């Protein structure tokens, strides 16, 4: 079974010869996606929670190839915007199985979801503000809803993803029982939802389980007066980005989460995103400049913060490996791209097998929020994406041209 695959895939585990061939054929920067790894990660996660309903959080990677592979593997899809709903449907999802988690939803998003629910009443809309429910009612909607609650406990790799204690997300905990009674009279209240944070590893697991226990307790409170179909604990389970970090033992995590949840009549839902896709994708980039300075050896590459913005946005660590010469002696280098900002740096003074001009470097763990956050800063067309599946490789996203960048201008 594929869920028996190693719990983390390091950059050294990729086939370097194949990566070199893909870069030569398709150019750089290039996203390389392993769809078999996506499926294996999902199956490993689902096997740790055999009694839960596991939904993939599409926002981590909304590519058609990823969604199609996960639907084929047996996943349902959770969406955070109307475009994700449409892309899930385009990939083959049954709209009646979708869950839409509305966060400060624009009118367009709510209009789309309400129209979709007219023909597909199985769609569930999750609201995290009283306004959202009022706006749904104003549109004539009275279907399936869930209440997103704020447990007051945030976890994860960065304060910007610790959603469980951010007032932007969810109804304040103490207000939920009263709101549930009100919502139950206006809609079909089917669930309670929460999300504590993102990138949770072993050091964060205690806090994460405290948040889960708090959400479960609210689920039991609401169950006393409402017939809930589910309590959704979100996702947030991380992968080790640094080489010295250990991966989660998902069987242990499953036991810890089950213990934190305790007894619930409603079904447990979980929404992994990052865990499923992060280590299933890397970025290939070519060295174009090596500059020795008194402060650092600067290595310039053709990828940039337009290709992968997470280091600039979150200070995120992504492993880097010299694919062309992995055994060359390592030297501390700073690797950055062609953007005219000091934020365009992938690492600073990090030991890497000494890069030379035209070497191919790989940047790891790019599958979660990598291409999703890619942009066109400096009029850089976004890169191509190649998917590996079984023994085949195919382009699943064409490299943009400058004409693509300027097409919508008038």
Instruction: Indicate which residues carry an active-site annotation.
Output: 340
Q: At which residue do the structure tokens 């009443």 appear?
A: 121
Asked if 386 and 400 count as a contact pair (C-beta separation under 8 A), the reply is no
Distance between first and last Cα of the chain = 53
Residues 365 and 13: beta-carbon distance below 8 Å = no
Could you tell me the two tokens for 143?
Answer: 């279907």
Strand 53-57 and strand 267-270: the pairing is parallel
Nearest CA-CA partner of 100 in 122, 78, 130? 78
Question: Which among 77, 66, 89, 68 is positioned nearest to 277, based on CA atoms?
Answer: 66
For residue 390, what is the DSSP state?
T
Under 8 Å between Cβ of 24 and 17: no
The first and second tokens of residue 177, run together, are: 């029982």
Around 123, how many Cα atoms within 13 Å sit in the side-chain half-sphere? Answer: 26
The rounded distance, in Å, linking the Cα atoms of 363 and 303 is 10
């Amino acid at each position: 079974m594929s869920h028996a695959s190693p719990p983390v895939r390091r950059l050294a585990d990729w086939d370097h010869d194949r990566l070199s061939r893909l870069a030569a054929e398709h150019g750089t920067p290039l996203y390389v996606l392993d769809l078999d790894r996506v499926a294996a990660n999902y199956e490993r996660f689902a096997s740790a929670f055999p009694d839960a309903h596991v939904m993939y959080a599409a926002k981590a990677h909304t590519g058609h190839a990823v969604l199609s592979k996960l639907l084929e593997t047996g996943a349902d899809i959770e969406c955070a915007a109307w475009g994700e709903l449409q892309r899930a449907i385009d990939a083959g999802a049954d709209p009646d199985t979708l869950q839409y988690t509305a966060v400060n939803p624009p009118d367009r998003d709510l209009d789309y979801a309400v129209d979709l629910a007219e023909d597909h009443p199985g769609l569930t809309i999750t609201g995290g503000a009283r306004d959202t429910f009022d706006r749904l009612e104003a549109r004539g909607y009275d279907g399936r809803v869930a209440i997103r609650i704020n447990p007051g406990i945030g976890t994860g790799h960065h304060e910007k993803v610790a959603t469980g204690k951010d007032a932007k997300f969810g109804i304040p905990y103490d207000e939920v029982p009263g709101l549930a009674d009100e919502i139950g009279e206006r809609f079909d209240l089917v669930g309670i939802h929460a999300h504590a944070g993102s990138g949770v590893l072993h050091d964060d697991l205690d806090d994460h389980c405290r948040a889960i226990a708090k959400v479960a307790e609210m689920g039991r409170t609401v169950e006393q007066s409402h017939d809930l179909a589910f309590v959704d604990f979100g996702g947030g389970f991380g992968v080790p980005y640094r080489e010295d970090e250990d991966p989660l033992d998902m069987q242990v995590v499953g036991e810890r989460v089950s213990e934190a949840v305790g007894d619930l009549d409603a079904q447990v839902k979980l929404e992994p995103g990052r865990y499923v896709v992060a280590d299933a994708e890397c970025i290939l980039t070519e060295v174009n400049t090596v500059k020795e300075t008194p402060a650092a050896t600067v290595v310039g590459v053709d990828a940039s913060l337009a290709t992968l913005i997470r280091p600039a946005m979150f200070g995120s660590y992504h492993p880097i490996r010299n694919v062309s010469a992995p055994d060359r002696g390592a030297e501390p280098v700073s690797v950055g791209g062609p953007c005219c900002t000091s934020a365009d740096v992938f690492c600073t003074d990090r030991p890497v097998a000494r890069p030379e001009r035209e070497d191919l470097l790989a940047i790891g763990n790019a599958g979660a929020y990598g291409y999703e956050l890619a942009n066109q800063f400096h009029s850089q067309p976004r890169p191509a994406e190649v998917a590996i599946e079984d023994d085949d490789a195919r382009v699943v996203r064409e490299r943009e041209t400058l004409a693509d960048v300027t097409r919508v201008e008038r």
